[in-house]
């Protein structure tokens, strides 16, 4: 019994020593391959550089950012029903379970087992049996019984070179990456729902304008038709008015289709039917609580984005995989040990004299594997290089998204003002042309032309208003906004807890 204890203590000492050898590369975050500041065009808005006391987008929850209660309810509905987000959440559960599986390999699996062995030997080949065996002899042979019960572990790998530990670390980093991926999916979802909601509002506004234009064209046609009946207008004027009216009818029908498709697109993103009470009306009104978002310093802002954090966790997992691949070149040491009882009679199994134990250390030293271990290590190194490029590309994409949104925000107010003035001018020009036509001082074709110009200008104004709203939402999402503050804290706590649960490297 003392010998068994000594062996177990020796095994525990070897296990403790296994934490001292780590063959994985030392992790270093790659330098961000982007400029140290946003483009100059963006800085003219005054939002490119955050003040020390300014709140960054990543710290603004979506319920605080979006003020329209209808949009808030629609976003909440999407967070409960969107399938992409649901998959991302389930991926977290899957990766957490796989991490627990890998982490369990760091500890011996202790099992309690019992068995019975019965053997019959014919008389013709009967051999001398050891003393103490329970035998039953008949004319034709002899039957032997052995009962055993033991507690122990089988093939527990002493992780002297960190193979199991690095596999566990890789699983942990993959799990943490899935948490960030879920947050990134939510940010994209919130942005998409808000953008689609505003697009529906814009399409409804365009439909209203198209219907108003059709009604105006109908009034123009009725006027021309009456004047033709009185002989004050030609047949050509009637046909021109009719052509404009039918064109307006076609535009209104197309706008109706577009509005219905916009609602379908919104409900696809949400994942369920959106109540009519939560749909927008035919106005592209501001839905955000602020109009200027501090962009901050690129290196500080972009490295907080969940997609960038997910890519970085992947790099850390790759480092651990390299450490596990390097460990394959070194001996694998395993232990099998058991302590229990063995007896030829079941009733006497647990008596003191029937104690038994076994201890079987083993080592496997790689000699020749036809280059398999080398190929595994090379593949792990190449994977790291690929993921470094992916990480850098993720940062570059994030930088471009923010820069583009800032560029739009830099001139959007000027665009809105110019387009608003254009609509007013076209409206005035149309009113004057129609008045001159009715007085006989101008031709109908001029009036119809001005009406088409007014319709086009009104469409452009709606598009500019939509761009103003969606560019702000895009900037908010590109800077990492779209997750509630408490959700972000929960994700950080989960990551911290998981990291704390891992064995210190």
Q: What is the DSSP string of 460-489?
A: HHHHHHHHHHHHHHHHHHHTT--S-HHHHH
Q: What are the φ and ψ backbone dihedral angles of 233, each rounded to 5 degrees?
A: -130, 150
Answer whether residue 310 shows pLDDT above 80: yes
Relative orientation angle of helices 372-438 and 306-327, to the nearest 10 degrees: 170
Relative orientation angle of helices 69-81 and 163-229, to the nearest 10 degrees: 130
CB 189 within 8 A of CB 84: yes
Is residue 155 situated within a structural domain? no
As given in the structure block, the two tokens for residue 424 are: 């007013």
Q: What are the φ and ψ backbone dihedral angles of 160, each rounded to 5 degrees?
A: -65, -30
Is residue 131 situated within a structural domain? no
As given in the structure block, the two tokens for residue 127 are: 């051999």
pLDDT more than 90, % of the chain: 45
Give the closest residue to 475 by CA, choosing from 343, 273, 295: 295
Mean pLDDT of 305-328: 93
Is residue 408 situated within a structural domain? yes
Task: Name residue 152's beta-bridge partners.
Answer: 111, 338
Mean pLDDT of 99-125: 79
Answer whether residue 62 shows pLDDT above 80: yes
Assign 199 to helix, strand or coil: helix
pLDDT at residue number 40:
65
pLDDT at residue number 376:
92
Is residue 132 situated within a structural domain? no
Answer whether residue 30 shows pLDDT above 60: yes
Tokens 């009725």, located at residue: 222
Task: Name residue 144's beta-bridge partners.
Answer: 119, 135
pLDDT at residue number 434:
87
- Count the domains in the chain: 1
CB 274 within 8 A of CB 196: no
pLDDT at residue number 42:
47
Is residue 448 situated within a structural domain? yes
What is the distance, to the nearest Å, from the Cα of residue 159 to the centroid of all Cα atoms in its chain? 34
pLDDT at residue number 16:
54
Give the closest residue to 38 by CA, choosing from 401, 347, 415: 401
User: Mean pLDDT over all residues of the chain?
Assistant: 83
Exposure letters 352-386 (e unless 16+ CB within 10 A, then b): eebeebebeeeeeeeeeeeeebeebbeebeebbee
Distance CA 416, CA 438 (A): 33
Pairing of strands 110-122, 134-137: unpaired
What CATH number is attached to the domain comprising 210? 1.20.1600.10
pLDDT at residue number 496:
53
Which of 20-24, 288-292, 369-373 is predicted most confidently?
Answer: 369-373
Task: Point out the least confidently predicted range of 52-61, 85-94, 227-236.
Answer: 52-61
Could you give the angle at the alpha carbon of 282 between the alpha carbons of 277 and 284, nearest 5°? 105
Exposure letters 403-416 (e unless 16+ CB within 10 A, then b): bbbbbbbbebeebe
Distance CA 129, CA 466 (A): 94
Distance CA 218, CA 212 (A): 10
Instruction: Give the pLDDT confidence of 444-471 residue by residue, as tens digits.
Output: 888 888 999 999 999 999 999 999 999 9
Distance CA 218, CA 242 (A): 9
As given in the structure block, the two tokens for residue 239 are: 């046909």
Pairing of strands 134-137, 141-158: antiparallel
Which of 11-25, 316-330, 488-502 is predicted most confidently?
Answer: 316-330
Mean pLDDT of 228-252: 89
The residue ranking higher by pLDDT, 252 or 289, is 252
As given in the structure block, the two tokens for residue 87 are: 């998959």
Instruction: Give the pLDDT confidence of 142-197 residue by residue, as tens digits.
Output: 777 777 888 887 888 888 888 889 999 999 999 999 999 999 999 999 999 999 99
The residues, ordered by sequence, that sit 6+ positions from 144 with a Cβ below 8 Å of its Cβ are 117, 118, 119, 120, 121, 129, 133, 134, 135, 344
Q: 211 is in which domain, residue-wise?
A: 20-106+161-330+375-501
Answer whether residue 346 shows pLDDT above 60: yes
Mean pLDDT of 472-484: 89
Distance CA 41, CA 57 (A): 20
The residue ranking higher by pLDDT, 134 or 300, is 300
CB 129 within 8 A of CB 135: yes
pLDDT at residue number 51:
44
Instruction: Give the pLDDT confidence of 382-422 residue by residue, as tens digits.
Output: 999 999 999 999 999 999 999 999 999 899 999 999 999 99
Mean pLDDT of 278-290: 86
Is residue 387 situated within a structural domain? yes
Could you give the angle at the alpha carbon of 102 between the alpha carbons of 96 and 107, nearest 5°? 125
- Return the C-alpha torsion angle 42, 44, 49, 51, nearest 10: -150
Relative orientation angle of helices 485-501 and 163-229, to the nearest 10 degrees: 160
* R_g of the chain, CA atoms, integer Å: 38
Confidence of residue 47 (pLDDT cuts 50, 70, 90): very low
Instruction: Give the pLDDT confidence of 191-235 residue by residue, as tens digits.
Output: 999 999 999 999 999 999 999 999 999 998 998 888 888 888 888
Is residue 254 situated within a structural domain? yes
Is residue 366 situated within a structural domain? no
Confidence of residue 293 (pLDDT cuts 50, 70, 90): confident
pLDDT at residue number 52:
40
């Amino acid at each position: 019994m003392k010998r068994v204890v000594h062996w177990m203590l020796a095994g525990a000492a070897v296990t403790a020593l296994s934490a001292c050898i780590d063959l994985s590369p030392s992790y270093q975050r790659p330098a961000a391959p982007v400029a140290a500041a946003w483009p100059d065009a963006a800085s003219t808005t005054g939002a490119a550089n955050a003040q020390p006391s300014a709140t960054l987008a990543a710290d603004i929850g979506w319920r605080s950012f979006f003020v329209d209660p209808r949009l808030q309810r629609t976003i909440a509905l999407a967070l409960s029903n969107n399938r992409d987000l649901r998959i991302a959440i389930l991926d977290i559960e899957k990766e957490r379970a796989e991490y627990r599986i890998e982490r369990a390999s760091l500890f011996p699996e202790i099992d309690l087992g019992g068995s019975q062995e019965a053997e019959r030997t014919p008389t013709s080949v009967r051999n001398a049996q050891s003393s103490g065996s329970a035998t039953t002899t008949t004319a034709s042979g002899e039957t032997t019984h052995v009962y055993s019960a033991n507690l122990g572990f089988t093939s527990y790998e002493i992780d002297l070179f960190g193979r199991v530990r690095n596999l566990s670390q890789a699983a942990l980093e993959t799990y943490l990456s899935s948490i960030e991926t879920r947050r990134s999916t939510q940010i994209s979802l919130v942005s998409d729902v808000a953008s689609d909601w505003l697009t529906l509002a814009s399409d409804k506004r365009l439909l209203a304008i198209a219907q108003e234009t059709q009604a105006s064209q109908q009034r123009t046609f009725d006027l021309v038709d009456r004047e033709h009946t009185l002989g004050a207008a030609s047949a050509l004027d009637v046909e021109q008015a009719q052509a404009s009216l039918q064109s307006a009818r076609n535009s209104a029908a197309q706008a109706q289709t577009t509005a219905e498709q916009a609602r379908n697109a919104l409900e696809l993103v949400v994942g369920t039917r959106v109540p009519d009470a939560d749909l927008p009306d035919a106005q592209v009104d501001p839905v955000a609580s602020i109009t200027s978002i501090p962009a901050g310093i690129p290196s500080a802002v972009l490295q907080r984005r969940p997609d960038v954090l997910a890519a970085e966790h992947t790099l850390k997992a790759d480092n651990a995989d390299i450490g596990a691949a390097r460990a394959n070149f070194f001996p694998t040491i395993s232990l099998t040990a058991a302590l229990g009882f063995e007896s030829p009679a079941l009733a006497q199994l647990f008596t003191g004299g029937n104690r038994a134990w076994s201890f079987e250390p083993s080592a496997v030293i790689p000699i020749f594997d036809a280059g398999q271990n080398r190929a595994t290590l090379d593949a792990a190194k190449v994977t790291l290089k690929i993921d470094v490029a992916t990480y850098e590309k993720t940062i570059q994409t994030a930088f471009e998204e923010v820069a583009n949104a800032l560029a739009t925000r830099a001139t959007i107010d000027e665009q809105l003002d110019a387009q608003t003035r254009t609509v007013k001018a076209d409206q005035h020009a149309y009113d004057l042309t129609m008045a001159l036509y009715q007085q006989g001082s101008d031709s109908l074709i001029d009036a119809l032309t001005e009406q088409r110009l007014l319709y086009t200008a009104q469409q452009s104004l709606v598009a500019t208003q939509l761009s103003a709203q969606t560019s702000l939402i895009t900037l908010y999402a590109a800077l990492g906004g779209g997750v509630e503050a408490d959700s972000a804290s929960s994700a950080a706590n989960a990551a911290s807890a998981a990291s704390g649960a891992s064995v210190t490297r």
